[in-house]
C-alpha cells in the first residue's frame, strides 16, 4: 500500500510538466480563437492582430511538439499483497546469498545495483520530513 502511494506520487510529479504544457496550450488556443473572431468581425482589424495570431499559432505548434515528446500517463497498479510478496522474495534472496558458492551471484548483483535509497518512516508509516 505504501509503495503504491509512492508510485502514484512520483507519477503525479512527472506529469506536472505535461499538464502545464496542456494548460498553456489550451490558453493559447482560446486567445487565438478570440483574435480570429475579432479579425473576422472587423474588416479593418489592425495588422497587429494578424501578427499576434501568427505568433500564437507558432507558440501552439512549438507546444504541440513539446507535448508529443512528453511521457504519457501510465498507471501502475500493484497487487494488494505486494509487500508480502516483496518480503518473501527478499528473504529467499538472503537465503540464497548466504549459501556457500554464492559469491559469484553476489558479484553479479553488485554490478547491477547503482544505488540503494532508504526512506525512513515514522511509527504510523508516514515519511519523515527531509528538511529540504
Q: Which residues pair with 104 in a beta bridge?
A: none
Q: What is the pLDDT of residue 112?
A: 77
Residue with cell 516483496: 86
pTM given for the model: 0.44
CB contact set of 108 (below 8 Å; sequence gap of 6+): none
Range 108-116 contact pairs with CB under 8 angstroms and sequence separation of 24 or more: none
The residue ranges of the chain whose pLDDT is under 70 are: 1-4, 11, 14-15, 73-75, 120-132
10-28 per-position pLDDT tens digit: 767 766 777 888 889 999 9
Helix, coil or strand: residue 127: strand
Amino acid at each position: 500500500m505504501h509503495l503504491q502511494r509512492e508510485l502514484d506520487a512520483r507519477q503525479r510529479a512527472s506529469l506536472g510538466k505535461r499538464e502545464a504544457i496542456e494548460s498553456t496550450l489550451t490558453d493559447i488556443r482560446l486567445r487565438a480563437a478570440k483574435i480570429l473572431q475579432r479579425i473576422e468581425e472587423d474588416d479593418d482589424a489592425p495588422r497587429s492582430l494578424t501578427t499576434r495570431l501568427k505568433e500564437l499559432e507558432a507558440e501552439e505548434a512549438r507546444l504541440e511538439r513539446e507535448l508529443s515528446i512528453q511521457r504519457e500517463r501510465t498507471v501502475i497498479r500493484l497487487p494488494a499483497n505486494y509487500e508480502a510478496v516483496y518480503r518473501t522474495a527478499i528473504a529467499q534472496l538472503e537465503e540464497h546469498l548466504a549459501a556457500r558458492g554464492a559469491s559469484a551471484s553476489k558479484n553479479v548483483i553488485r554490478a547491477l545495483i547503482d544505488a540503494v535509497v532508504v526512506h525512513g518512516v515514522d511509527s504510523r508509516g508516514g515519511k519523515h520530513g527531509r528538511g529540504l
